[in-house]
Amino acid sequence: MAARKAMVAGNWKMNGSLELVEKLSDAINNAEFSEVKIVLFPPFPLIPAMIASGVNTGAQTVSEHTSGAFTGEVDAELIKQLGANYVLVGHSERRSVYKESNDVVAAKFARAQQAGLTPILCVGESETERENGQTEQVVAAQIDAVINKLGVAALEDSVIAYEPVWAIGTGKTASPEQAQTVHKFIRDKIASLEGNLAQGLTILYGGSVNEKNSELLFAQTDIDGGLIGGASLKAESFAAICNSAKGTV
């Protein structure tokens, strides 16, 4: 069985500053988090400063294209050249606000891996879909889009983040039991295709994670850490969340 290492990823969304880069990097670099892989996802202009601070850095999105007339888009090769190693694909805001389909997300996943970046594939259901009992159906379709395009082996060099849309930025959080149920579903689904890969796959939970609920969430068998939103903009809160991830995997 491949060993899994706890991970805490901080998605700043369209927030942050050079001052915040300094505060967060100091909080991370001055603490002992060797047991936890920490990655921060600042807005594109702050990526070089974050990399220079010594913190693992990723981009919040990436183009599925290699180059060309795509104003405002950024190619995975450029992100890699800067020194970033990760990229979020399929975040719920990209799916809902920018109408990225499962197929587009799969294409972005493929392009990221082609350039040597590790994609964090975000999956999750809306509140209506959960109420209609469609959680597993929706999450499975989002994962299957990648598997159908690239094969299950592509998931080996990736991370999956389960983020119920109804819990993102709302203050609502899936209970540890609710989150574990979906995480187990994801791992079992992949295990049905490739058991060893599934056991080694890092699966994060995202959705209003904070320093008060992170320890219970991370204690669940199939939750390997978190994709953190608002709390990743506060140095003390983020450091506390990273601390709660120690020894959880």
CA 176 to chain CA centroid, nearest Å? 18
Spatial separation of the C-alpha atoms in residues 230 and 223, rounded to whole Å? 20
101 conformational bin, left if phi > 0, alpha if psi -120 to 50, beta if neither = beta
Alpha carbons 41 and 54: distance in angstroms, whole number: 13
Q: Which two tokens stand for residue 40?
A: 């921060």
Catalytic residues: 91, 163
- 3-class state of residue 199 by DSSP: helix
Q: Give DSSP secondary structure letters for 194-217.
A: -HHHHHH--EEEESS--TTTHHHH
Q: How far apart are CA 207 and CA 124, in angstroms?
A: 10
- Pairing mode, strands 36-41 and 86-89: unpaired
